[in-house]
Structure 1
Amino acid sequence: MAASRTDPTQSSQPIRGYLFVVIAVVFWAGSASVAKIMFQTRFDALIVTQMRTSLSFLMLALFFALTNRPMFKIAWRLVPALAIVGVFGVAATNFSYYYTVEHATIATAILIQNTAPVLVALYLGFITKEESFTRLKAVALVLALGGCYLAVTGGGSLDLHLTGWTRVTAFAASFCYAFQLIYSKRLLRTVPVWTFLMYAFGFAGAFWLFINPPWAIAAKHYSSGDWGVLLFFAVFSILIPHSLLVSALKLLEASRVAIVTTLEPFLAILFAYIIVGESIGVVQVIGGIAIISAVVLLQLRPHQYLKKLRSVSAH
């Protein structure tokens, strides 16, 4: 009898995928606060966004040029798609998010971007029907969004503080992030993870060169210390976590990955409590429990459980 083909999303691999997303979120949880501090010095959203992707690309390109040159090989027909995800996914998401962080509040930026799981789940579940939209996933989605709101607001009302361009960038961050997850998932069916990352970062960096060319950057007279800060931020805010996110997309449905990323605001608050000594309320803890419950729910497979139960009862 021929061996049955096993879908990676139905094997033990999803556990690894969920772990990748959670670790990525741990890195992201501290990034927004660090970025806010950077914006209060001599950095702005443009240079931070540009250097995150550009420096990440240079590090990956140098590493693979020295160790594994076949990683650069890609079918020409895939180049336009990689350019699209690099510009409209990576670059647009990062800039719109950090612009909102700089000119509004971290809470506003995080809360609005975390509506992306709804867009991903609805689009893939009802429009393209690439994924199933189960009751379990719907409950997890509600728990995650509700928990995110409680974690960010503490249960009170939230003044979004949206003025000027942040009225656009806050919601653009959500749409672009949803697009990035969906489009990345499709490309990763044929493109290796590291090749995907290198080209996505590369096209994002190339795009920013047209917006903020080298001579404009040189005119800012950044010191070696400034470049060290930008390099450090690039590694810990995008290179490591985005590598984990993309690896998770290889193993999980895009909607599941999106829902797990709603852990970010609660972890950010938890780190602030542990490291800085900031207060954390009961409502925020409840929000965190709700998000964690959503993540646990996503790992349940009721159909497989019922199938096993029927098999046992039949004997």
Structure 2
Amino acid sequence: MISMPLIHSRQKGFILVITGATLWGISGTVAQFLFHYHHFTPEWLVSIRLLISGFVLLVLANALAKNRVFSIWKNRRDILQILFFSILGMLAVQYTYFAAIKHSNAATATVLQYLAPVLIAFYLTFRYRRKPSNRELVSIILAIFGTFLLVTKGSVDRLTITGVALFWGLLSAFALAFYTLQPLKLLAKYGSMVVVGWGMLIGGVSFSFIHPPWIIQGQWSLHSILAVCFIVLFGTLIAFIFYLESLKYISASETSVLACVEPLSAAFLSVIWLQVRFGIEEWIGTLCIISTIMILSTVDKKNIIKLHQKLEPFHRNVLVFLILKE
């Protein structure tokens, strides 16, 4: 018999991850509101979001584990890794995602970014020279079909979004795949709050040389001020902390499946609040892409054992996190 405290803990984990993922989805729609209605730029929003969120995360990390926050700068190899992660991972994910929203809408941009797990499956298949499983093949087909419906509405002779929006959306998926795979050694050594905190702060400082945060392009009002505060506080810091906290109560594979609430919340809010046109084809395409995560999160036990024997230790985390269910 399952004890009541265990049930309550699992319920707490479900609530935390669903809330965090919903906040992520809402923040994308709020960003669309800033871009389309108040004429803010992705460049400024990326800079300010990364700088503030990174600084606060590092302050929190320092309060929890003082010795680990700055120890990352004592190893030359770790320094190079955190710099790569900050620029090609964190900054790239943030900018490409917001650029995709700017040129389309939050729903489309978020769903396209969720192609990342399929890209990771591709990488792991070639990296460890194994044949893709039937489930991976089904996921790839669903991802391709879902993307086709999302960007064409089923018509082969036209796009329902601009080529620029499609470019940024797909680039966002590749950036997220790199963001997930690249820092695994750092995560195992220093913890996610330290790595993500430095990634955000370094990414924000680096991008400030391209677009200084004090150069603001946009129309300030009470609504736009609240929107920026929501993105930084609830859509970044609280969402991230909730997601991490959920891992204490439920498995990583469960959190990855429940995190599918993010594109759904972005889609629903875009349609209801910002009057984005989202037809039956887009909804089917969205569900096809989201279903790939659920499929990739339920791999056979035998395949896990065989694959784990081939993997370097630090690569096993990503399989549990996004693809495999132990």
- Determine if the TM-score, normalized by the shorter chain, exceeds 0.5: yes
Would you say the 8 A contact 1:53–1:202 is kept in 2? yes
Check the 8 A contact 2:51/2:201 in 1, yes or no: yes
What is aligned with 1:10?
none
Aligned counterparts of 2:12 and 2:285: Cα–Cα separation in 1: 24
Gap change, CA 1:87 and 1:263, over 3 Å in 2: same
Alignment gaps of 5+ in structure 2: 1-10, 306-326
1:300 and 2:298 aligned: yes
- The aligned counterpart of 1:160 is 161
Other-structure match for 2:109: 109
**Structure 1 length as normaliser, TM-score?**
0.69
Change beyond 3 A, Cα 1:154–1:249 = farther
Aligned positions of 1:19-168 closer than 5 A: 23-39=19-35, 40-66=37-63, 68-75=65-72, 76-77=74-75, 78-106=78-106, 108-128=108-128, 133-144=132-143, 146-147=145-146, 150=149, 158-163=159-164
**How big is the shift at 1:207?**
0.9
Checking the alignment, whether the CA contact within 8 Å between 1:24 and 1:244 is kept in structure 2 is yes
When structure 1 is superposed on structure 2, of 181-190 and 150-159 the one drifting more is: 150-159
1:188-239 Cα distance to aligned partner (Å, 9 max, x none): 222212111211112112212222335535x989689855542321123222
Separation in structure 1 between the aligned mates of residue 96 and residue 297 of structure 2, nearest angstrom: 31
| Helix, strand or coil at the partner of 1:43 | coil
Q: Which aligned pairs between 1:207-222 and structure 2 lie closer than 5 A?
A: 207-213=206-212, 215-216=214-215
For residue 56 of structure 1, report the CA deviation from its aligned partner: 0.6
Partners of 1:260 and 1:285 in 2: CA distance:
18
Larger Rg: 1
Asked whether the 8 Å contact 2:149–2:282 carries over to 1, the reply is yes
Q: Distance in 2 between matches of 1:59 and 1:278?
A: 34
Q: Is the 8 A contact 1:184 1:246 kept in 2?
A: no
Output the CA distance in 2 between the equivalents of 1:209 and 1:278: 32
Counterpart residue number, 1:198: 197
2:237 to 236, 239, 263: 239
Secondary structure, aligned partner of 1:216: coil
The offset of 1:265, in angstroms, is 3.5
CA distance in 2, matches of 1:216, 1:191: 34
Say whether the 8 Å CA contact 2:147–2:285 is kept in structure 1.
yes
Q: Give 1:277 shift.
A: 8.7
Identity percentage of aligned residues:
23
Is the Cα–Cα contact under 8 Å of residues 17 and 243 in structure 2 kept in the other structure? Answer: yes
Counterpart for residue 6 of structure 1: none
Which is further off, 17-26 or 174-183? 17-26
TM-score (norm 2): 0.67
Contact 1:51 1:230 in 2 (8 A): no
C-alpha distance in 2, partners of 1:221/1:288? 32
Query: How far is 1:268 from its partner?
Result: 2.5
Amino acid of the structure 1 residue aligned with 2:83: A
CA contact (8 A) 1:61 1:198 kept: yes
State how many pairs are aligned.
Answer: 287
Instruction: Work out whether residues 96 and 169 of structure 1, in 8 Å CA contact, stay in contact via their aligned partners in 2.
Output: yes
Residue 24 of structure 1 contacts residue 242 of structure 1 at CA under 8 Å; is this kept in 2?
yes
Q: Distance in 2 between matches of 1:136 and 1:22?
A: 25
> Aligned-residue CA RMSD in angstroms?
4.4
Q: Give SS of 2:189's match.
A: coil
- Taking a change above 3 Å as real, the CA distance of residues 141 and 72 of structure 1, as seen in their structure-2 partners, is same
Counterpart in 2 of 1:184? 183
**Kept in 1: contact 2:93–2:176 (CA 8 A):** yes
Cα distance in 2, alignment partners of residues 209 and 169 from structure 1 = 21
* Contact preservation (8 Å) 1:53, 1:205: yes
